[in-house]
Structure formats: C-alpha cells, structure tokens
A and B are shown apart, each in its own frame.
Chain A
C-alpha cells in the first residue's frame, strides 16, 4: 500500500521519467490515427535519447518538454485549422482521459485493498487483540471498501436522476409540440381547452425537468468536491500511519 501512495506522490510532484511521460502523452493522443501517434511518440523518444547523451536526466528532459496534456492539445490544434472545434474536442478527450484514469485508480486500489483486507484480517486472528494498529488498518481498509461501493452507488443514483429528468424534459417538449400541432388541425375548435392545457403542461414539464437537472448537476459537483476532500484526508491518514511505523 505504501508503494502505491509513494508512487502517487511522485506523480503529484510532476517528476516523470521517460516511460511515464510517453505513456501519459500516448493516453492523451486518443483519437488520432495510429501512424500519427507512432510518429509523434518516436519524435519524443529521440528527444529523450539525444538529451540523455548530453548527460541530462530523464525527469529534467520531461520537465522542459512540458505537460503531456498540453502537448497533445497542441498536436490537435496544429492538425486542425478550425480551432474552436478542436478545443472542444480536446476538452472532451481530456475529460474522457480523466474519467479513464480515475476509474483505473479505483480499480487498482480495490485490487490492492481486497488482499490487504484479507491479510490484515488474517493477522488479526493470529495476533489476537493485542495489536491495536492492525485493527486500525483493518478498519480503514474496510471503511474504504464500503465507502467505495456506496460511492459507486451514489454516482449511479445521481446520473440516473439526471438522465430521468432529461427524459422529463423530452416528454415536455413532445407534449408541447403535439399540442401545437393539434391546435393547427381543422377539428381543433371543439377541443381547444384540452390542447391549451397540453401546451402549458408541456412548458411546465420542460421547466420542472430543467430545474431538477440543474439541481442534480450542482449535487454532482458537490459530490466530486467531497470525494476529492475525502481522498486527500485518506492520503494524510496513510502517510500519518507510515510515520508512526518509522518511529
């Protein structure tokens, strides 16, 4: 577990080696043709090779090359002259890469946490109740595990709610359109009241749907914020634990 967190810490400092840099770049170049990606990666590989011959360290070279995300954005911009669409596309791709990375992190954490949980459980049974720290570790791991499941559930819930209110908006639009359409029909005179109420019902549905979508989007933002805070707290916990051990 410590190793993972140390690795994460390294990434946060932005000290990447050649492999990490190229992998990150490759990840951000999603959507380009294979030949393009290959050529681009080769250019940077050569840059690293020559730089190393000049006695520069890998992380120095990576640092002066800049942020892979930015480079990928540049590549996309240079490939397409229509700047606005490409920046929108870049945004989408950056979002997608972010989602992919987060889910990967969650997956790997889960994969590490389960054996860890089993291990600490086994240790617990062996040592009896003497060791408090193993209880603490076990507790944190179990808490994390449960929270992850709850987290996924909540995420699905929020997404589901947003989508369902999207459906409400769509139904409102359809009602509205049908009401307008039927008002223009020849036999409308007899049923005007009904159609009018349909019209307003449509508008009402659209408004309600929109309001709830905005509400749930705000909720989603808050959710992301809380998740980030929790992750930070968690990191601190584990770091604290490490310090205790080294004492």
Chain B
C-alpha cells in the first residue's frame, strides 16, 4: 500500500482508537501495526504532532509490571477532530467505491 495514503489514514486510526480507551505508546503502536504493516517507529512522531496540535494529551500512570508508562488520551478538540475525520473518510471511501464500481 502507498505509504503516503497510509500516513494520512494514520491520524484517523490513532484518534478513533483513543476515542474508545486510553492507550500507552507501545500498546497503541502494537494494535495498529498488527493490522497495518508500518514501521512502528514512525507512529511516535505522529503521536507527537497530534499532541502538539492539541488533539492528544499525555499522563503517566503506574503499570502492574513496574515503572510508570506514558498514556495518551483524547482532548475535547481531539474528539471533534476524530468525528470530523471519520465523516471525511466515509465520504471519501464512498466516492472512491462509486468510481470503482462504475463500468
């Protein structure tokens, strides 16, 4: 799959996963990379940018297995962005499907 396309969809994936529950970095990266083949390392820069843009916030929480981990959660702005991106995605795929089915 085209990497550029993948990256654009990555924002939506991250935001909608975090809409359901909070993840720590490793868990989120694993969850996505298990389904979509992407270099795991390239997800952290995306997380950083989304945080800088105010869509995500981070907090530290103790884990059962030792040191505290950095958790990511959606901000209000992030929730709105997630909804907006989801709508856009649905529209976009609908149109593409329409073209693909046309004969």
Q: Which residues of A pack against B, CB within 8 Å?
A: 39-40, 43-44, 46-47, 49-51, 53, 64-68, 70-71, 74-75, 77-79
Contact = CB atoms under 8 A, between A and B. Distances in A.
Contacts of B25: 43, 46-47, 50
Nearest to A76: B45
Name A's interface SS: helix
B82 to A, nearest CB: 18
B49 A78 contact: yes
A65 B40 contact: yes
Contacts of B33: 64
Interface string B45-57: 1111100000000
Contacts of B27: 50
Contacts, number: 63
B41 interface: yes
Contacts of B46: 74, 78
A70 B46 CA distance: 13
Given A50-B24, A64-B33, A78-B49, A43 B39 contact: no
A65 B42 CA distance: 7
Given A65-B40, A66-B39, A70-B39, A49 B67 contact: yes
9 contacts: A40-B45, A46-B25, A50-B25, A53-B66, A66-B40, A66-B41, A71-B44, A74-B46, A75-B45
